Structure 1
Amino acid sequence: MGKAGRAKSAREKIKEQQELERSREQRRKVVTYFSVGVVAIAAVGAGWLYAASRSQSEEAANGLAPTTVQADGSVVMAKPGVTKPVVDIFEDFQCPACKQMEEVSGSTFRNLAAEGKAKVVYHPITIFGQDPAKSNSIRAGAAARCVADGKQWVAYHDALFKNQPSETVEGFKTDQLVTWGKEAGVTAPGFDTCVTGQKHAQAQADYSVKVNTEQKLKGTPTVKLNGTELENTVIFAPQELRDAVTKAPK
């Protein structure tokens, strides 16, 4: 083979070697990109699963902590001797966001009280200033005040949120409020006449003004832990809520 032939052969070998290296590099890049993509997808998936686990509602524990209806209309749920941390729940039976919070985190509040990890205090108030929502809320709040037994109050509380009407129509009518009370197991003497006569309507309105003024509420639901308002990202995430309460000063 002449010099020209040998030179051509060498050039071809070099070219083949370069092509081989380019192919290998391309494969390395593809593998790298794929690996990074898999890791990224896994990270996103893990993050979503973690977030989902934190927002999943708890199963309700068997039995409630002792529940006492106070003279002012607030309701205390706590095991004997538990005074802190204090979880104050300010909610309006007509408020859609309050209903949602109860559906998501209601069992967490009750479980914490049943476990002796918190003193939970419900404050049913009227936050609305315009009808029909305002009148709806006052009727429901006044009806709840007709229930003196703590366990029955909790059942009625749940029934009111379950049957919450639209904010734009007249709802929580007195005959409905009586029916839902009976369905919830309310046996308080004079419950029917207390509800239909709206015996506690003025007390509900006055208490709402007092609480709104003293607590400087911006809306409902508002949850305070030892007097400090919790963010919505906490009260709508059961695990975040539990963590905040269990880590609070006793």
Structure 2
Amino acid sequence: MSEKNREGKRTARERLAVEREKQKAAEKRRRTLIVAAAVVCVLGLAAVIGVLAANSGGSKSSSDASGPVVAPSGATGQGDTAIPVGKDSAKSKLVVWEDFRCPACKAFEDAYRSTIHELTGAGQLKVEYHSVRLIDGNLRGSGSLHAGNAAACAQDAGKFTAYHDVLYENQPEETDDAYANNAKLIELARKVPGLVTDSFKACVDNGTHDGWVDKSHAAFQKAGYSSTPTVLLDGKNLMQDTTMTPAKLKKTVEDANK
């Protein structure tokens, strides 16, 4: 066999060897992709199951064992699911969906509390507060429910705003379900002069407004909201306005009242 033929066969064998290696590498990549896709699907399914379990496990509907729906004194809004603060004559309305266990809700309150108090006190802003128990569902527990009920009990006593502030000023860590303890809620209520009475304590201990909190939470879900706080100023979502500040809120409300 000539040197030229031998060289040609050797080159052909090398090409075949290279091609086989390419095919092996391609097959390995294909298997890797299949396995990865399978893992992603399993993880995705697990995540979906986890979310469904979190959202259903700790969050009861208004028809569950929380008892009858008893709205607090003066409740307003669709289905009487809101506690109003401010004058009805105010030309601007702030709707707040909140969870007393929610750190972001506390951050909003800490930043905007004094401005909201100023505007409601001046008769320029009306606020509707809706209780949500999102953290109860996500992290398990019942602190959101119990705190929402206690706030409604404070509304019955005509001291909602002061107690509302106390709950945020003393909010426990998100993972600490301290507000599930009614004794803790009553202890904090002592920071509001005249709030702790036999009727208030009975309201808190009996969960008088638990069903109402669940009804408010169901309304939150039905509206398609998914996070707290959800804050709407005259229908516009403040949490989506990256330029919003307490000063801008004040100016917007003052301009609406001119």
CA contact (8 A) 2:131 2:216 kept: no
Letter in 1 for 2:167: L
Distance 1:156 1:73 in 2: 18
1:180 to 1:202, Cα distance in 2 relative to 1, 3 A: same
5+ residue gaps, structure 1, are 1-67
Matched, 1:190 2:199: yes
CA contact (8 A) 1:89 1:122 kept: yes
Deviations 1:84-108 (A, max 9, x none): 2211122111110111111111111
CA contact (8 A) 1:90 1:221 kept: yes
Aligned position for 2:75: 70
Cα distance, 1:75 vs. partner?
2.0
Q: Give 1:99's match in structure 2, choosing from 106, 116, 137.
A: 106
Classify the secondary structure of the residue corresponding to 1:247.
helix
Matches within 5 A, 1:157-196: 157-172=164-179, 173-185=181-193, 186-187=195-196, 189-196=198-205
CA contact (8 A) 1:147 1:188 kept: no
Cα distance, 1:245 vs. partner?
2.5
Cα distance, 1:182 vs. partner?
2.3
Aligned position for 2:89: 81
1:175 to 1:70, Cα distance in 2 relative to 1, 3 A: same
Equivalenced residues, count: 179
Cα distance, 1:213 vs. partner?
1.4
Q: Give 1:199's match in structure 2, choosing from 205, 208, 212.
A: 208
Matched, 1:211 2:215: no
Cα distance, 1:204 vs. partner?
0.8
Matched, 1:143 2:150: yes
Deviations 1:202-244 (A, max 9, x none): 2211211113312x22311121111121235355x21122223
Aligned position for 1:226: 234
Cα distance, 1:142 vs. partner?
1.0
CA contact (8 A) 1:148 1:188 kept: no
Deviations 1:116-158 (A, max 9, x none): 22222222222232343x5111110011111235751111101
Aligned position for 1:121: 128
5+ residue gaps, structure 2, are 1-72
Deviations 1:5-27 (A, max 9, x none): xxxxxxxxxxxxxxxxxxxxxxx
Aligned position for 1:243: 251
Cα distance, 1:78 vs. partner?
2.2
- Give the TM-score normalised by the residue count of structure 2: 0.62
Q: Which has the larger radius of gyration?
A: 1
| Aligned CA-pair RMSD | 2.4
- Give the TM-score normalised by the residue count of structure 1: 0.64
1:113 to 1:163, Cα distance in 2 relative to 1, 3 A: same
Deviations 1:38-63 (A, max 9, x none): xxxxxxxxxxxxxxxxxxxxxxxxxx
Distance 1:200 1:191 in 2: 12
Classify the secondary structure of the residue corresponding to 2:232.
strand
Distance 2:254 2:127 in 1: 13
- Percent identity between the aligned chains? 32
